[in-house]
Structure 1
Amino acid sequence: MNDITLITGASGGIGGALARQLSAQGRRVVAVGRDASRLAEIDAALRVVADTTTPEGAALAMAATREAFGAAPAQLAHCVGSTLIAPLHRTKLDAYRELMRVNVDSAFFMLQAWIAALEGQPGAAVFASSVVSRIGVANHEAIAAAKGGVEALVRSAAATYAAQGVRVNAVAPGMTETPMTASMLKLPALREGAGKQYPLGGVQSAAQVAEVMARLLGDGAARVTGQVIPVDGGFTSVRPLVK
């Protein structure tokens, strides 16, 4: 496989951290996002302004990569996402549909465009899910449904394209320090309360999530596909000892 990695949502916290890590490893990173000014700050060999929630935007990202490097990216990291914290009875229709567009549509169209661009060659992809799709968390019905859809897409695509040598996985982060969560962590009491939910304690960094994503894209995970790896300080599997 070539050393080209396309990262969508590259100007976000996790996407940006992943771009830094892969660029430092000498990989050719294609950073994709909707805001040119924010993309300009990302470590990348190529920056592409595109809206990957549409088939046209996803195709544009692939075409720009091929034009710049003469090949499709062998690795795809899809970090596009948004969240919505509200109980079911208070979730507005427009907010729900926007959430699905950003999370599910973008994942589907980006994976579809990438598979087509590979033209039968092997590759590795990793997607961003959430702990709320793996364990019931109050007031997260809409985002749980959206990320559950992403996880189902990952498993099905992994089965379909395994014979081609394509691996498709996801990570499911817990509370992570990113611009998206800044408002939820801005007060010390909120940060302390959030950290106490996790057996390992505290709030994880975007770099810690990106490290797992980078691992799933690399040769060290050559036998891993169709998996969703929690990066959550034990939130979905263990309970801390109460002292």
Structure 2
Amino acid sequence: MHQSNYVVLGASGGIASETVRRLVAKGSRVLLAGRSEQKLVELAVELNQPTFALDVTNSKEVDTCFAEALRLFGKIDGVLHAVGSILLKPAHLTTDEEWHSTIRTNLDSAFYVVRAATKAMMNGEGGSIVLFSSAAARIGLVNHEAIAAAKAGIIGLVLATAASYGNKNIRINAIAPGLVETPLTFRLTSNEASLKASKNMHALGSIGEPCDIASAAEWLLDPSTRWVTGQVIGIDGGLSSVRSRT
């Protein structure tokens, strides 16, 4: 049985850690990469996988991470970029630093990862790169200006790079979630009024759980999806495409 090798950025996050568990359960090797060394070590102890602590907004550290993955594994079959942030403010209240931080964390880091990953995969058998956009990049949501712009940039990055590297058998896709209950969204989901309003925005009347998104990430990373590229898949309870009845 072929053993696949993956690099997961933001590995200790809610969605990413669930995805990593699924990959490891199938016998894959995963380099757990992210900012919080303590959280990475906790996950590494659980899953017996290597770690790499880095700032994903630093391109040199990203390059070093992928060099380490090649040293450990010999080749990389898939990459998951699960790094992001949430800023809910209208444009006129958003500071320059909040804007730049949102773009840096979400879009700059994704570009650095795609650049390093494609270099690492180009001389091999190819592979799969999965990024995260957002339902907010596909439908206008109040107070989402900065994050919507950053996540819309992810969509453009996916489309262009899927075209550029298709001839190298490198597949690049994105998942665009709605609101998912993770540590990142705790401030929203822990407020009863906010949670109720959020549920009502989704046609299915509920917010997502990490497993809802991880199943799609696992599928996109798997070699069986060899004919899927340049896609932005909405896993969002209908938020971006279906009008709720309430």
Q: Equivalent residue of 1:127, what SS?
A: strand
Identity of aligned residues (%): 36
- Among candidates 123, 147, 159, match of residue 120 of structure 1: 123
Contact 2:32-2:51 at 8 Å conserved across structures: yes
Contact 1:126-1:168 at 8 Å conserved across structures: yes
90-99 vs 16-25, greater mean Cα deviation: 16-25
Contact 1:88-1:141 at 8 Å conserved across structures: yes
- Among candidates 94, 97, 100, match of residue 100 of structure 2: 97
Q: In 1, Cα distance between the equivalents of 2:238 and 2:118?
A: 33
Contact 1:62-1:72 at 8 Å conserved across structures: no
- Matching residue of 1:154: 158
Contact 2:3-2:28 at 8 Å conserved across structures: no
- Matching residue of 2:200: 196
Pair 1:234 & 2:238 matched: yes
- Matching residue of 1:5: 6
Q: In 2, Cα distance between the equivalents of 1:210 and 1:197?
A: 22
- Deviation (angstroms), 1:44: 5.4
One-letter identity of the residue aligned with 1:227: Q
One-letter identity of the residue aligned with 1:81: G
Pair 1:51 & 2:55 matched: yes
> RMSD value over aligned CA atoms?
1.4
When residues 75 and 44 of structure 1 are mapped into structure 2, their CA distance, relative to the original with a 3 A threshold, is: farther
- Matching residue of 1:209: 213
Q: Equivalent residue of 2:42, what SS?
A: coil
When residues 59 and 2 of structure 1 are mapped into structure 2, their CA distance, relative to the original with a 3 A threshold, is: farther
Q: Equivalent residue of 1:204, what SS?
A: coil
Contact 1:62-1:114 at 8 Å conserved across structures: yes
**TM-score using structure 2 length:** 0.94
One-letter identity of the residue aligned with 1:34: R
- Deviation (angstroms), 1:35: 1.2
Q: Equivalent residue of 1:48, what SS?
A: strand
- Matching residue of 1:62: 66
Q: Where in structure 1 do 4 or more consecutive aligned residues deviate above 6 Å?
A: none
Contact 1:14-1:178 at 8 Å conserved across structures: yes
- Deviation (angstroms), 1:166: 0.7
216-225 vs 203-212, greater mean Cα deviation: 216-225
Q: In 2, Cα distance between the equivalents of 1:202 and 1:51?
A: 33
- Matching residue of 1:19: 20
Contact 1:10-1:19 at 8 Å conserved across structures: yes
When residues 50 and 85 of structure 1 are mapped into structure 2, their CA distance, relative to the original with a 3 A threshold, is: same
Q: In 2, Cα distance between the equivalents of 1:100 and 1:27?
A: 32
The total of aligned residue pairs comes to: 241
Q: In 1, Cα distance between the equivalents of 2:86 and 2:196?
A: 21
- Deviation (angstroms), 1:2: 5.6
Q: Deviations over 1:43-97 (max 9, x none)?
A: 352111111212111111111112222x132100000111111001001001110
Q: In 2, Cα distance between the equivalents of 1:143 and 1:241?
A: 26
When residues 139 and 150 of structure 1 are mapped into structure 2, their CA distance, relative to the original with a 3 A threshold, is: same
- Matching residue of 1:75: 78
